[in-house]
Amino acid sequence: MIKVGIIGVGTVGTSVANILKENADVISARAGRDIVVKSGVVRNLSKDRGLDIILTDNVDDVLNDDEIDIVVELMGGVDEPFVVVKRALESGKAVVTANKALLAYHRYELQELAGNIPFEFEASVAGGIPIITALRDGLSANHIESIMGIMNGTCNYMMTEMTNNGVSYDAILKEAQDLGYAEADPTFDVGGYDAAHKLLILASIAYGLDAKPEDILIEGIENVSSEDIAFAKEFGYAIKLLAIAKKDNNEVELRVHAALIKKEAMIAKIDGVMNGVSVVGDKVGETLYYGAGAGGDATASAVVANIIDIARSGKSTPMLGFNRPMEGNTLTLKSSDDIESKYYLRINVTDKAGVLAQLSKIFESYNISIETMLQRSSENGSANLLISTHKAVEKDIQSMLKELEKLDFINFRPVMIRIV
Ligand code: NAP
Ligand code: HSE
């Protein structure tokens, strides 16, 4: 029998305990032995969680319990879980976590500490989709050319409801929190950080790249307005929060931002809490993964799969998939300044003579070529200029936006959304 201790019995932890009980027949058969939860750790012992497991508010009750074989960390955060997980590994216990924030900062230290002790984290990226296993095992024969996808269920749920049903940002964020999709601090979701944490984990498995959130371009959905959603819809685009990793010669670009995507594209059709990830390998070509990206049961499905795997074999694949560095591996992180993209710009101007002429000079001076432009005038004497550009370089667009902000005929900060 395998005994599990769950540190953090909230949305995901409760589902893990329930699945281990409700699906015990198939789980025991697949694992070759019974798996039971011996105890769980919470902060608030007075809260009823509808579970028949022993609960404590002291992590030592799990970490010092010699009968517990696997510690499942589902408390969230970075510093506290790092200490907890380190202690679990030091006492020889296998670890399963869904905590992408922890891994975004400490994955290489944890890999070192784990050594041959199993350390699994399937649920940390894209909830219930087995993307870690796919990338680390199923695609291990390939050089990975790109990874692109929707990796935050909360943002996708919000963008879908705002686009299809005109629901307000605040109301739909509250709903995503009530449904258990959002992080304890939802700024991580809407600010793009959660998707970035996931992208960094995938980048380590795909490219052996050790980057931190501070090193990459991260933007969220906070500045996507209902006006831009409506314009996007009118012109046949969906707006999604995308996470992108792309190899370009010896560099890898990593970025998270809202993006306009043609509505016919497969990824534009991924709605609600669903996530979708495309991985392109040099031998396999494109592969696609789709499924629930957040929520208790979907996430716990991936956590329990890791527990079963550990119970089955007791041995581990190297945590991040590489047994040693690749010979001649010179892959480095591309500077965000050098990223190239097409851009959508919405510039609200005073509708008067000479404005377009001045703007076109500024565009030219930053080497930014306009692909399409449309003017929507209002009765109050202002106009929205809706511009799409040909491919341009990020640092040029950013510098131009700074200059545009200073012009007296521009009424407020221009809106920029990348087109993918
Ligand atoms: P949650 O509902 O907030 O649950 C967190 C649990 O940890 C709660 O039971 C809390 O106790 C407990 N806890 C927190 N700090 C503690 C401490 N210092 N000592 C003891 N217990 C502590 O969070 P969740 O949504 O289940 O997420 C858990 C982890 O899974 C996070 O790392 C999250 O990023 C990740 N994840 C979540 C989802 C999802 O859809 N929710 C999907 C993928 C990954 P109380 O209940 O008493 O407050
Ligand atoms: N808050 C995360 C999301 C949970 O919405 O995608 C799943 O990682």
Greatest alpha-carbon span in the chain: 80
Ligand 1 pocket test: pick from 7, 43, 59 the residue with the most ligand atoms within 8 Å of its Cβ: 43
| Residue 350 CB coordination number (10 Å) | 14
Co-location of 179 and 250 in the same domain: yes
Sequence-distant (6+) residues with CB within 8 A of 327 are none
Mean per-residue pLDDT over the chain, rounded: 96
Q: What stretches of 192-250 adopt beta strand conformation (E)? A: 217-218, 237-248
Q: Where are the beta strands (DSSP E) in 309-397?
A: 332-333, 340-350, 370-377, 382-389, 392-393
User: Which of 38, 93, 100, 198 is the catalytic position?
Assistant: 198
Asked if residue 134 lies in contact with residue 141, where contact means CB atoms within 8 angstroms, the answer is no
Q: What are phi and psi of 246, to 5 degrees?
A: -140, 130
Pocket test for ligand 1, best of 7, 42, 124, 154 (most atoms within 8 A of CB): 42
Q: What is the total count of domains within the chain?
A: 3
383-417 pLDDT, tens digit per residue, is 999 999 999 999 999 999 999 999 999 999 999 99
Are residues 353 and 275 part of one domain? no
Joined tokens for residue 55: 């609960």
Q: Annotated catalytic, 198?
A: yes
CA–centroid distance, residue 146 to ligand 2 (Å): 22
Confidence of residue 327 (pLDDT cuts 50, 70, 90): confident
Same domain, 204 and 273: yes
Closest-CA residue, ligand 1 atom 42, reads 294
pLDDT of residue 314: 63
Alpha carbon distance 160, 273 (integer Å): 9
Q: What CATH number does residue 109 fall under?
A: 3.40.50.720
- Which residues approach ligand 2 with their CB closer than 6 A? 127, 152-154, 181-183, 189, 194, 293-294
Same-domain pairing of 281 and 358: no
How many angstroms is it from 198 CA to the middle of ligand 2? Answer: 10
Domain end residue (candidates: 333, 360, 393): 333
Q: Which ligand is nearest to the CA of 183?
A: 2
Nearest protein CA to atom 7 of ligand 2, as residue: 294
Say how many Å lie between the CA of residue 186 and the centre of ligand 1. 13
CATH code for position 271:
3.30.360.10
Asked whether residue 163 falls in the same domain as residue 312, the answer is: no
Indicate whether 156 pLDDT > 70. yes
How many angstroms from the chain centroid is the CA of residue 366? Answer: 32
Q: Please give the model's pTM, rounded to 2 decimal places.
A: 0.97
> Per residue in 106-129, pLDDT tens?
999 999 999 999 999 999 999 999
Given pLDDT bands bounded at 50, 70 and 90, which one contains residue 325?
A: confident
Query: How remote is the CA of residue 13 from the centroid of ligand 1, in Å?
Result: 7
Closest C-alpha to 221, from 197, 200, 183, 195 = 195
Domain C-terminal end among 304, 333, 362: 333
Q: Tell me, in angstroms, the distance from the centre of ligand 1 to residue 75's CA.
A: 4
Structural domain for 322, as ranges: 2-129+296-327
Q: Do 317 and 349 have their domain in common?
A: no
Pair 16, 118 in one domain: yes
What confidence category does residue 326 fall into, taking pLDDT thresholds of 50, 70 and 90?
confident
Sign of CA dihedral 400, 403, 408, 412: positive
Looking at the structure, tell me whether residues 261 and 165 fall in a common domain: yes
| In a shared domain, residues 29 and 156 | no
CATH code, domain carrying 399: 3.30.70.260
Residues 252 and 300 in one domain: no
DSSP structure class, residue 241: E
In this structure, the answer to whether residues 249 and 310 fall within a common structural domain is no
Pair of tokens at residue 309: 């795997």
Token pair listed for 284: 């396999």
- pLDDT tens for 157-177 read 999 999 999 999 999 999 999
State residue 329 phi and psi, 5-degree precision: -75, 110
CA distances from 31 to 22, 25, 69, 144 (A): 15, 10, 14, 31
Are 139 and 266 members of one domain? yes
